[in-house]
A = this chain, B = another copy of it.
Amino acid sequence: MSSPSLAVSRRNRRTPYTERIEALGVQGYSIVNHTLLPKAFGRTVEEEYWHLRSSVQLWDVSCQRQVEVRGPDAARLVQMMTPRDLGSAVVGRCFYAPLIDDTAGLINDPVILKRADDWYWLSIADSDVLLWTKGLALGLGIDVAVTEPDVSPLAVQGPRAEDLVAAVFGDAVRNLAYFQFDCFDFLDRQLVVARSGYSKQGGFEIYLDDSRLGTELWDTLWTAGQGLDVAPGCPNLIERIEGGLLSYGNEMTRNNNPLEINLDRFCTLDGRIDYIGRSALEKISRNGPTQRIRGLLFDGGPCPPCGSPWPVYASGNPVGYVTSAIWSPRLERNVALGMVQKSVWATGQSVIVHSDDGVERTGLIQVPPI
């Protein structure tokens, strides 16, 4: 069966890079934050995986919209939204931070950029954090401006990313530490460039803040990458599962808390800061989570796409479900992430995965990375 198509409408927003993406033969999209995320360029996911691990790719991740929180009380509001202690956060750094509601349910898991003491960008996964933030600010009477600025990240990922970004923005980018950012000249603008991105191969994200320059930014990087085997790409499912990178909506929903997705290190539980959901999270922590995200390796030949949770069994009993899965050409097994109960969450536990093609597949639990 051929893949279902995606309907065209303004509601599924195009990006500053979509024209170039189309010219390069994009064949599929996902939708994130009401925005097109290119997903296929005529090569298989396996071919893109090997290329990502050896060269450099440009990813249109404009769908990582920014929620800008700015004003005298910005720091206070942002701290209320996450159990991660941002008290010692310095300007010029990125912070991966779970956002939770009053039940400790996950609202999103953005990367937070601290641009100034009174100025934050929340670079978000797929939920309308803007509405959550605006609702809170309005209800609490907090003095901040909450907006979605014209900012469209372009990711440069892969082992040759540093050479490519340095060719365009200068060798100073080489000095950026992981999750550090700074501003660099591009035409008449200063663009935020961070060492970050949704792969384990290393790379950068360029926060273009003027849509009119999208084609020019793309072309400049494309031209500079011609000697570096540059190609268009996108977050690679094989690579992200092997690397244990989580996806909001897949590995976590509002029904999960941050401990279940192994973000214990970002959960302040000693009472030194206050935040929404604190008492709920402390209560969960006292008993400990009953399930956690784990990696899985399983057999039975290449599995179909995972469009809904697949049941996982041990000794005939249900013990969890797979949230993302795909065949790994490197490991020659299927790799997956899934939510499993405490009884089986240790590395090496044997499980059976029921993929929705009706096949029962023998597997092993492994703490990511796989």
- Residues from chain B with a CB closer than 8 A to the CB of A3 are 5-6, 8
- Residues from chain B with a CB closer than 8 A to the CB of A309 are 10
Q: In the complex the two chains form, is A34's CB within 8 Å of B138's CB?
A: no
Q: Which of A117-152 contact B (CB under 8 A)?
A: 126-129, 131-141, 148
- Residues from chain B with a CB closer than 8 A to the CB of A4 are 5-6, 26-29
Does more than half of chain A's interface fall in helix, strand or loop, or is it mixed? loop
Copies of this chain, count: 2
A306 to B, closest residue via Cβ: B10
Contact partner, A31, options B12, B127, B307, Cβ 8 Å: B12
Among A8, A29, A249, chain B packs the most CB atoms within 10 A around the CB of: A8
CA distance A134 to B99 in the complex (A): 13
- Residues from chain B with a CB closer than 8 A to the CB of A26 are 4
- Residues from chain B with a CB closer than 8 A to the CB of A306 are 8-10
Known contacts A131-B132, A140-B139: does B34 contact A6 (CB below 8 Å)?
A: no
19 additional contacts (CB under 8 A) given A2-B27, A11-B126, A128-B128: A4-B5, A4-B26, A4-B27, A5-B29, A6-B6, A6-B30, A7-B37, A9-B30, A9-B305, A10-B306, A10-B308, A10-B309, A14-B308, A102-B134, A132-B135, A136-B136, A136-B138, A139-B139, A139-B141
